[in-house]
Structures are given as structure tokens and as C-alpha cells.
Structure 1
Amino acid sequence: MDGGPSRTAMMAAGGRAAHLIVDSAPYLFQDTVAADLLGAQAEEVIGYHRRFGDHVVLSGTRAQVNARSSYTEARAGAGFPQYVILGAGLDTFAYRSALAHRIAVFEVDHPATQQWKRELLENAGIDATASRFVGVDFERDDLAAELSAHGFDSGTPALVSWLGVSMYLSEAAIDTVLAVLGGFAPGTELVLEYALPPELRDESGSAFAEFALPAAAEQGEPWLSCFTPQALTELLDRHGFTVAEHVSQRDAVTPELWQRTDTLRPADLCRLARATLRS
């Protein structure tokens, strides 16, 4: 990244903010800070959802980012004293959740992305000290050392979320990060979002991919990795993790939240793997 805004971070935050404006209740998730964080860019980003919100990519993005956030933040309430957000982007957990007052939150991302986010937080009048910013270039920096330098206790279990990232990485890069996470304390829980291969996607997932993946590649962010649930289970197992469940978008929230009057529908394109590090 060259210091400019992250397109994927903007899309994710915009999808969370727009959900409360474009879609009807019941809401999959309520990110009440995302629009403020986007600041001057909010109206442009949310405006796309206002005008073209029924398009498969925009509605699919809102469903994806809100369902995965709902599921993952529910796990943050399971008693973990530390929460590591890999590829944090414009995540707002630390700035709106009551849990953040008793959990040490570590936001890990590229230093340029974090500088941009700090500027957005300052412009919005949001206290940035609720989170610890861990700037990491995964190609050059030591993730474990950087976390430790910012107060992370590798001897205490943590919740680790890794959402919206793995599909943009090679399997070798994913393997490298998992090797680091495998050195965390037993009982550490990982929620990892991964992309399904084409043959496992449903009709809605395939439609989203048909539009979104070529556009992402054209903008320099191609999808590089897909996994079957079995293949990912085996990969996580090699790094000491036992998978508890693979969660579809439909199952990431309670069933009644999909009983909707708007056009928001779940798609099976990406899933969440929840796994616990063995002793």
C-alpha cells in the first residue's frame, strides 16, 4: 500500500454504515461508528448503496460484512482478555463496544492503513487510545515481535479475528501467519474468513464473484486463495488448531434476521472457520 486509502477497508466500513440506512430492520449488525469514521467520504461511499443498493455486489457486501462482524463480535464476549484483529482496516469494535473497556484490543494492519485510520479517528473526534495499533508489513515484519512490543501477552489466551483478508493472500502467506498464531497460548480462538472454490459457491455467491472478482483484480487486489472446509481444517490442524465449526453467512446470525422485507439475502461465497488452539 502506498499510503492512500484501502479500497477493501472502505468497502467494508461503507457496507456496515449503509446497512443501517439502506436496509430495513431487523439489522444483522449495528455499527454506529462507521459512518462517522468515514467522515467526508461517508456520503460518497454510502451514496452508492443508496442509489444502487439492490445490485448483487453492494447488497452482497452489506450481507457479508455485517454477518461476519455479528458472529465474530459475539465471540469477543466469551471471556477473552485479549482481542487481536488482523487486517483491522476500519474496524470500529474498540470505539463502540462496551466489551472494549475490559479487553485489550490490538489492531494489526499495514502502517500506511493505520496512519490513514488515525487521521480519520482524529477528524471524527474519536479517542484512538481505546485500541493498540500494531503496524505490520507481513512481508517484512515479525508479527509476534510487534505484538509483544505493544503489550500482547502470548502466554494468555486471545481471540483472533482474521476477516476479509485470506482470499487476497497466497497460501504460503496464510501459512506463515498461522505459524505465528500457533505459538500463542493454548485456548486461543481464531475466527478466519475464507473464500470457497467456485464449485462450492451457491447461485448468489457465484453471481457476486462474477461481478466483484474481476473488478478487484483490475484494481490490484485479486483473490489468490480459496479453500474447501476440509482443506482449511487440515491446514489449521497442522498449526495446532482444532476447528469447532465452519459457518456459512446464513448461519452467522440468528435465523429470524434473514426474515426480511428488503432484498438483503445470504450468499455462500465465503465462510467463517472457528478454531481453538490446542495445548
Structure 2
Amino acid sequence: MRTADVSRNAPLPSRTAFTAAAARAAHLLVDADPVIFSDPLAAPLLGDRAEELLAYHRMHTTHPVLAVARAEAVCRSRFTEDRLTRGNSGIDQYVILGAGLDSFAYRSTARRFRVFEVDHPATQAAKRELLAAAGVAEPASVTFVPVDFEAEPLRERLVQSGLDPIRPVFISWLGVTMYLTGAAIAAALTDLGGFAPGSEIVTDHLLPPELRDAAGNAFAEAVGPVAAEQGEPWRTFLSPGALSGMLRGAGFEVVEQAGQRQSVDPQLWHRTDALRPAALSALAHARIPHRPGMPGC
């Protein structure tokens, strides 16, 4: 399926959804062991753009910008799914904000989850065509929730789509916050903070220049202007302290924060390929605490 197959009058699906999936796919093709994150459906979901997008990684395997892109994509996915699938949380509702071409619901053996994929309608339409073209069935456990993050209340839309608001939910919000205003991020977190006690969130954020290392700044200088030219400008850069303050203000308690190096097992950085941890972004894991007087306390 070509991106242009979507209605000519509709907005194009997110380009970054394709480049992120290409980075996950390329990790299995061009990087050496140990594998940080395995997403065998990433390449099939690229459709007829697979050859084009993966060729960059094959031809320029050691290019620092492409290597940082792969490390960024696989580390945040590994960090999130490790926390989602741990056996003791009891959470079975999973919300993926800005789902893009995320393939968790189609490859996971953890069938206890009901998955709510939240994204722009054009991106969702493209994804569903790609799934069909790749012969990947949409399980009954998946619900597509079209949302404009800047304009619509997330919690309300999710509840309207069948999410149970009195039971805990796990939320991933990856590769999105940099495209939103600070006000939109704070409003979304406040909305999500209204979910049941025990609910959890993992989100990432781009660091401001003074907190990046040379590799992180080189990536930002190369990729940021291109994203803007393609209609997806980076709007917000946050320090870990600033994001922590937003989370607390929305009713979450911060469980952990990690840079790329700390986000995965240290053994995974014993490598012979071009992947190296970069100070470009950071991850936060938070939960809504149980407090006296709350239901279930």
C-alpha cells in the first residue's frame, strides 16, 4: 500500500510512524547481537515503502544519525513493554497514545490485554490497510480510537470507546510529546490522571540542548529541521525535572526516570555494532497512587 492510497482529500498519515517502524525493523537486519528489542512485524507493516526506508539503514549502517534513530526506537519500546508485561501488575487494559505502526497487539502472546490504539484517523486508516496487505488479522482485543491530541479530551474518548474507567490502565505515550505544546502535554496528563488508582504511564520526551550530548545534538540538528519541513515540527523539549513536575501536577507519582543508557539492561550495551546510548531523550514511568478515600483503598 502506498501512503497515497489514502483518500486524496484526507491528511497524509504520519511520516514519523513509518520512520520509527523502519528503525525497529532495521535493528533486526543490520545490528549485531544482543538484540535490544524484537519487532518482527515492523518490516511487513512498512508495505511497499519497506525497501526504500530500510535501504538507508542497510547502506549506511554506521551512520550516527541512523544508529541513534535505531537505538532510540528500540530502547523506548523495550523499556515500555518490559514494564507492561511484568506479571504482577494485574493490569489488562493497555492504551497506546500515538500508536503509529506499533505492533504489540498483533505479535504479543500476552492475550490478557485489551488494547486501545489512539492516533490520527489518517494514520489509523493507513495502518489498517497495511495490516490487511500483510495478512495480519486485527484481533478482537484491539480498539482504534481516533483523537486529535491538541483538541479532544483523551479520557472521555477512551471511555466512549469501551475502556473501563474504574479499573487500572497502562498507558504508553512514545514519540509524541515533542510534537505538542507544553500546554497540550499538561492538559493530556491531567486528563489521564483521572483514571483509576494503580494506573501507570510510560512516556518519553526530548531533552533540551544543554542536557544532550554530542550525539544527541547532532541527531537533533539533522532531524529536527526535516521534521519541520515535513509538517511535524518539534515544539517541546523537557528536562526530566520539568516532566516530573507535570506528572506530579496531574496526580501521578514518578516511579522511575531513565536516559537511554539506563533504560535497558547494561549487558545490552556490550556491542560490536554502531549502536551507542545517546543523551537525546529520556523516559519516565509513573503511576496514579492509591490514596485514602479513593475507591479500592
Q: Tell me the secondary structure at the aligned position of residue 98 of structure 1.
A: coil
| In the alignment, structure 1 residue 4 sits paired with structure 2 residue 15 | no
Q: How far, CA to CA, are the matches of 2:278 and 2:245 in structure 1?
A: 24
Tell me whether 50-59 or 141-150 shows the greater mean CA deviation: 141-150
What's the TM-score once normalised by structure 1's chain length?
A: 0.96
Query: How many residue pairs are counted as aligned between the two chains?
Result: 278
For the 8 Å contact 2:150–2:180, the answer to whether it is kept is no
Residue number among 270, 275, 280 corresponding to 1:259 in the alignment: 270
Q: Tell me the secondary structure at the aligned position of residue 262 of structure 1.
A: coil
Residue number among 106, 129, 135 corresponding to 1:125 in the alignment: 135
| In the alignment, structure 1 residue 199 sits paired with structure 2 residue 207 | no
Q: 1:254-278: CA deviations, max 9, x gaps?
A: 1111111111111011000111112
For the 8 Å contact 1:3–1:116, the answer to whether it is kept is no
Aligned to 1:14: 22
Q: Which amino acid aligns with 1:61?
A: A
Residue number among 176, 179, 189 corresponding to 2:190 in the alignment: 179
The 5 Å alignment of 1:23-62 reads 23-62=31-70
Aligned to 2:3: none
Aligned to 2:117: 107
Q: Which amino acid aligns with 1:73?
A: E
Aligned to 2:84: 76
Q: Which amino acid aligns with 1:141?
A: E
Q: Where does structure 2 lack aligned partners over 5 or more consecutive residues?
A: 1-8, 291-297
Instruction: State the Cα RMSD in Å.
Output: 1.3
Q: Where does structure 1 lack aligned partners over 5 or more consecutive residues?
A: none
What's the TM-score once normalised by structure 2's chain length?
A: 0.90
1:54 Cα deviation from its structure 2 partner: 1.8
Identical columns (%): 54
1:81 Cα deviation from its structure 2 partner: 1.0
Q: How far, CA to CA, are the matches of 2:62 and 2:70 in structure 1?
A: 10
| In the alignment, structure 1 residue 189 sits paired with structure 2 residue 200 | yes
Aligned to 2:294: none
Structure with a larger share of its residues in helix? 1
1:4 Cα deviation from its structure 2 partner: 2.0
Q: How far, CA to CA, are the matches of 2:157 and 2:228 in structure 1?
A: 30
For the 8 Å contact 1:15–1:61, the answer to whether it is kept is yes
Residue number among 144, 149, 161 corresponding to 1:150 in the alignment: 161
Q: 1:200-241: CA deviations, max 9, x gaps?
A: 111211111121112112222111111111111111111101
| In the alignment, structure 1 residue 219 sits paired with structure 2 residue 227 | no
Q: How far, CA to CA, are the matches of 1:93 and 1:12 in structure 2?
A: 14
Q: Which amino acid aligns with 1:54?
A: T
Q: Which amino acid aligns with 1:96?
A: R
1:2 Cα deviation from its structure 2 partner: 4.1
